[in-house]
Structure 1
Amino acid sequence: MVRWGVAGAAGVLGVGVGGGVVDVAGMRETAGAVGAAGVADVADVRGAVGVLGEVLARLVAVPAPEGLRTLGGAVERMLAAAPETVGRLADASERRLLADCVAAVREVAGEPGDRLLHWDLHYDNILAGRADTGRAGQWVALDPKPLAGDPGFELFPALVNLFDAGEVVWRFDALTEAVGLERDRGRARAWTLGRVLQNAVWGAGTGGHRMVPEHAEIARQLLGGGVTVRAGVRWCGG
């Protein structure tokens, strides 16, 4: 079951999958339905990653409704802007790193996917539902930027929010397993590197000449050992 509506900038989505429910809504739509406690308040960050993974898995199990913006369109724009973005970076090692991200994205750009994506699913955007609104025991995801695309494109916010360099690979592995991509982590890495590229493009558009340090670190760790995307295709970090 999918119920989709848009009220100004606030979209509302209810998805029932296998008896579970994911509610994704604009913050203004659900402010009265959630309490103050959120996933970001969970003392065990790995536990918070687990909750986010469960919410994400139920969300991406559903095909995106017709009429949503698509990852295919977004990737065309970021790849078109990539040469200028790479050239604007002041640091040579960052230019090589971002060029590797571009190469990875090109390998998967032809298969952008059709799943329902939140696009900004981080820990501060998941709050506990309130009992008096019938949402006791539910985690409610807020403030979506709905997009149709590959689930691998959804992982980056959970890596960079509450950032811990020592946990990047663990989180990535846990999230790919949660959404059923453990056998296709090469593709998930490529789309996560696509988020690094997208943010670099946005940064260059506002006059930036350096990558965000946390974004660069995520890219280095995901690229560091080389990952097979398709048979015979490998890339390595610079």
Structure 2
Amino acid sequence: MVGSLLRQLHGVPAPDGLPRLGAVLAEMLEQAPAAMATLDREDRSRLDRWVRRVGELEAEPGDRLLHWDLHYGNVLSADREPWLAIDPEPLVGDPGFDLWPALDSGWSADPTVTGAPRLVRRRFDLLTELLDLDRDRAAGWTAAHPLQNALWDIEDGYAAIAAPAQAIDDALASPGRPLR
């Protein structure tokens, strides 16, 4: 259901005047060096890897309409459509950036759930296939979300990367590896 909604949204030309992923990314990359100083060595290494990964994609931020927060809690059943996406934070960018919320849904309330890496990779596989996305590029854009979340958390006084972000990152560390 989330994949079908994302496919619909990404198929719509983005209207003028919406925030652009390139600008959001530039702000994140500017904030990252100062944020790294607050983290321990392991988290700093992870954040640095995300910065490098999304930095590689910075030149091609995309031009599609994105939801920015389409997780399962933002999907409703309706009479006029089988499913409706609600509470959008419209953004213009690469569809790979929109995958994170669907990967960070349900299981992540308890990141110790057995099989979480397999579930994350399976969702990632299904979404990249349904949306016809290059897996490596989508994994790179997916790294932008935990980078953004970590920067927000650090701004709010937290000094560690959240466990669900670590779990999803670990699960996608080798996105080219077959799931089966």
Same fold (TM over 0.5): yes
1:174 aligns with 126
Cα distance, 1:73 vs structure 2: 0.5
Q: How does 1:124-163 map to 2 (within 5 A)?
A: 124-130=73-79, 135=80, 137-163=81-107
Larger strand share, 1 or 2: 1
Distance 1:221 1:94 in 2: 16
Cα distance, 1:98 vs structure 2: 1.3
Alignment-mate amino acid for residue 100 of structure 2:
F
Partner of 2:172, secondary structure, is helix
Work out whether residues 97 and 220 of structure 1, in 8 Å CA contact, stay in contact via their aligned partners in 2: no
Q: How does 1:202-217 map to 2 (within 5 A)?
A: 202-217=152-167
Larger helix share, 1 or 2: 2
The equivalent position to 1:92 in structure 2, one of 24, 29, 41, is: 41
Correspondence 1:191 to 2:135: no
Distance 2:13 2:30 in 1: 27
What count of residue pairs does the alignment treat as equivalent? 168
* TM score, norm. by length of structure 2: 0.89
Identify unmatched segments of 5+ residues in structure 2: 108-115
Alignment-mate amino acid for residue 79 of structure 1:
L
Distance 1:172 1:86 in 2: 28
Larger radius of gyration: 1
With a CA cutoff of 8 Å and minimum separation of 6, indicate the structure with the bigger relative contact order.
2
* TM score, norm. by length of structure 1: 0.68
Taking every aligned residue pair, what percent have the same amino acid on both sides? 45
Cα distance, 1:97 vs structure 2: 1.2
**Which runs of 4 or more aligned residues in structure 1 lie more than 3 Å from their structure 2 counterparts after TM superposition?**
none
The equivalent position to 1:70 in structure 2, one of 11, 16, 20, is: 20
Work out whether residues 101 and 219 of structure 1, in 8 Å CA contact, stay in contact via their aligned partners in 2: no
Partner of 1:148, secondary structure, is strand
Q: Aligned Cα RMSD in Å? A: 1.3
Distance 1:207 1:125 in 2: 27
Identify unmatched segments of 5+ residues in structure 1: 1-50, 228-238
